[in-house]
Structure 1
Amino acid sequence: MKKKISIFCSLLLALQMMLSLAVVPVFADEELTSAVYEEPESPAVTYNMNVDWKFKKAADGSEYPLAKASASVAKDGKNFYDADYDDSDWDTVSVPHPINAEDSFDGACYDAGEAGLYRGFMFYRKHITIPESDAGKKLFLEFEAVRNSVYLYVNGEIVGYYEAGIAATGFDITDYVKPGQDNLIAVATDNAADRGQSDTTKVTKETKPGSEPGAADGNGYQWNTKDFNEVQGGITGDVILYAKGKTYQTLPLYNNLKTKGNYIYATDFDIRGKSATITVEGEVRNEDADKDVTLEVNVVEMVDPNKDSTDADADHTKQPYLRYSFKSDATSVKTAKDTGADSHFMTTVPDDAYDDNPAATSTETVDVTKIVASAKCEDMKFWSPDSPNLYDVYTVLKDSEGNVLDVQKTTTGFRKVEYDINDGGLKINDQPVWLTGYAQRSTNEWAVIGVANDWLQDLDMQ
């Protein structure tokens, strides 16, 4: 009898321990259908700029630098960036627009199959009319991806340039655009790669600060070869126009805006308990009067409310459900001290980059205010290679009266990642993961190393 009581007590204790580990979801199942999230209205507007571009290659792909290449398409005394330039004989395209899709692997057995690729300058033009309701707002133009450069002109004026070809870039076009009127966006870009070019004057080089954009009078780019950076040229990503109020969340576009955007991450993982702390470090810029603001964070999951339905006619469209909501403390944001010309950058290359003793590299932003919001979240669905769960994180900037100043949406996942040489190697959510696609090699064709041994592989992974 005592033995039975002992076993019963042990089972009861185990059951209590299991129940103590249970996680209560933010919303009970019966409440889930009433928790559909509606994004709040915001003065910030995003415009898709992908359609109706005019496109033309330079008359001769070998024309360098930019001034010579643009002269090759000039006509009637007009340059490609002039509003009244006649582009009626240009192609009409949409972006993303990889111009080498038509000539890739024309030379299939020579030069890695890329002997016939067009390499040179190309030009884009687009007319836009921004609503008068956006007058007085900040206007930012983002190029998600280009190869290899962007020389941006708005209504005939040079706004800025980017030449590295490996990251998104953005430009403040506020002072160049006339809302309610026709505006011309003009872009020159090139895709030259060093390898295979017998004439080294016909490759992309950096513009020295202070020189005419596209002068190619600076250094070349070490990795600008077809071995590492594909020639595939053109505007190869989306083009996005942001219209924001004077107090706004910045964009993660250090080139050329020198802003870093919001940083969203998780810590304090409890994988078995399905919990973690979500933190948002917001970057707010204020080009208006001083004010107090809060940053509200709404974490949303896309869910099929009828996923378990056996009805053949059931609507299985996923809907956004609010999972977690929290906000920062009220924070005072002062008027930025570097508005106007002080916050407009022709390029992010430092002015002293070519001096004998340049200053240390700096990644300082323009004048912004950091705002932090954080909360522990339960019943989370972590990201993993087998279950790549994602959330939409809405960051809502509000003033002291509750008015919405700006809304940004970031799609992301949360996962715990660690690497332990002595215990399973790479782990995601405490589970060992076998890497594929990392481009490790059993032999190394380059000199010195030969075959990398295990300790070198481990050091590389760390």
Structure 2
Amino acid sequence: MGIVGYLIHFAIALVIVNKEVIPTRGMLYPRESETREVRSLDGLWNFVTSDEANPTQGVRDKWFNDDLSKVKDVIPMPVPASYNDITTDKAIRDHVGTVWYDRKFFVPRSWAKDQRVWLRFGSVHYEAFVWVNGEMVIKHEMGHLPFEAEVSNFVKYGEENRITVMCDNALIQTTVPQGKISEVKKDGGVAIVQSYTFDFFNYAGIHRSVHLYTTPKTFIEEVEVTSNLAEKSVGHIYYKVKVSGTASNEADSALQIHVQLYNKEGVVVANGTSNGDLNGALEVKKVKPWWPYLMHPEPGYLYQMELLLYTADNTLLDVYRLKVGIRTLTWNNSSFLINGRPVYFRGFGKHEDSDFFHH
């Protein structure tokens, strides 16, 4: 099969799996709270590689409808990890094309009531297709960003479930970064070879943690936080909150965000309530600014920001907490400044696959 045939073959498979795929999302990191539960799906998954000359076989034969162990011999593969360096098999390290993962997990019966269930991947390089119990729930392209999907209607509550992931590491002219796939003659046929011009190895696989987590029916979906230092002892935090809701009596009602800011000792140093657009600001007196390492005796100081979503009748809907630092960033023609002090950048692009040179 020529390289054109390879691409056409793969394109046909994408048509098969691309139907009615919900756009990806996933800005807030999963965190437990009074209204949320989080379970990790990290650990050992089952793993198989596709035939490089037939990368879409698993899609056409619907490997996602059953355990991978029933269609090929599987090996255990840790998640998160780059599959290239886990084994001593050169064929796995240099594999070009699709690989498959699957594992089983349970969903508590308690999650079926008044909650939404989400599946989140921190990163899968380069392109990912995800099935739950044989049903496609999401696809994502570009391996450096998180993505997630609501799986409330796909999981079985109080029962065992199966998640299947097809990961494609092929880089072509339209990917980021770009690459090229070509054929190289070898004894007995040809080999599919991936080439690229960047100076690091094309590591692939499920690179970051996988989480299953819950939110209320109406929940805090996104939080945007900015800050500045008005003067040496006073800081300001500005926040914008986006809410998503499926319960009509909640989503259509007036909502408010109550915010509390805690220092490292757990003491409330600022609090406030948002406006009708769920935006607001906090003033922090005797502020401890965020400083980079070596620029202050106490670098990287972070406050904890607690956001509580309430209805107009003061019913608590959701709670989310995140760490925030207070700083001011400015720049001019000659310098980049943090809190008014210039920063000297000492290095760039230290790649993990070269301990000595660090490129």
**Which TM-score tier does this pair reach, normalised by the shorter chain?**
0.7 to 0.9
Match of 2:268 among 294, 311, 322: 322
Instruction: Tell me the TM-score normalized by structure 2.
Output: 0.73
What value does the CA root-mean-square deviation take over the aligned residues?
Answer: 3.2
Does structure 2 retain, via aligned residues, the 8 Å contact 1:145–1:165? yes
- Change in 2 beyond 3 A, CA 1:86/1:116: closer
Per-residue CA deviations over 1:17-46 (Å, capped at 9, x if unaligned) read xxxxxxxxxxxxxxxxxxxxxx99533222
Structure 1 residue 86, shift from structure 2 partner = 3.6
Does structure 2 retain, via aligned residues, the 8 Å contact 1:151–1:162? yes
1:324 is paired with a residue whose SS is strand
Structure 1 residue 69, shift from structure 2 partner = 4.8
- Listed as ranges, the matches of 1:377-456 within 5 Å are 377-386=284-293, 387-421=299-333, 425-438=335-348
Residue of structure 1 equivalent to 2:109: 132
In structure 2, what is the Cα distance between the partners aligned to 1:285 and 1:196?
A: 41
Q: Do structure 1's residue 299 and structure 2's residue 257 form an aligned pair?
A: no
Larger radius of gyration: 1
User: Which amino acid letter does the alignment assign opposite residue 44 of structure 1?
Assistant: R
Higher strand residue share: 2
Q: Any stretches of 5+ residues in structure 2 without a counterpart?
A: 1-30, 173-178, 185-190, 294-298, 350-359
In structure 2, what is the Cα distance between the partners aligned to 1:202 and 1:322?
A: 60
Structure 1 residue 293, shift from structure 2 partner = 2.2
Q: Do structure 1's residue 68 and structure 2's residue 95 form an aligned pair?
A: no
Structure 1 residue 196, shift from structure 2 partner = 6.6
Residue of structure 1 equivalent to 2:232: 272
Match of 1:376 among 262, 278, 283: 283
- Change in 2 beyond 3 A, CA 1:301/1:199: farther
Structure 1 residue 148, shift from structure 2 partner = 0.4
1:44 is paired with a residue whose SS is coil
- Listed as ranges, the matches of 1:8-407 within 5 Å are 42-58=34-50, 60=51, 62-65=52-55, 67-70=56-59, 79-83=62-66, 86=69, 89-102=73-86, 117-135=94-112, 136-194=114-172, 195=179, 197-199=181-183, 225=196, 227=198, 230-250=201-221, 261-267=222-228, 269-273=229-233, 275-288=234-247, 289=249, 290-303=252-265, 320-329=266-275, 331=276, 370-386=277-293, 387-407=299-319
Does structure 2 retain, via aligned residues, the 8 Å contact 1:192–1:202? no
- Change in 2 beyond 3 A, CA 1:294/1:229: farther
Structure 1 residue 191, shift from structure 2 partner = 1.6
Structure 1 residue 404, shift from structure 2 partner = 2.5
Per-residue CA deviations over 1:311-362 (Å, capped at 9, x if unaligned) read xxxxxxxxx4433222214x4xxxxxxxxxxxxxxxxxxxxxxxxxxxxxxx
Residue of structure 1 equivalent to 2:28: none
Structure 1 residue 234, shift from structure 2 partner = 0.6
Q: Any stretches of 5+ residues in structure 1 without a counterpart?
A: 1-38, 107-114, 205-223, 251-260, 304-319, 332-369, 440-462
Identity of aligned residues (%): 21
- Change in 2 beyond 3 A, CA 1:45/1:401: farther
- Change in 2 beyond 3 A, CA 1:64/1:148: farther
Per-residue CA deviations over 1:398-437 (Å, capped at 9, x if unaligned) read 223433311222223221111112xx51111001111122
Structure 1 residue 147, shift from structure 2 partner = 0.6
User: Which amino acid letter does the alignment assign opposite residue 344 of structure 2?
Assistant: W
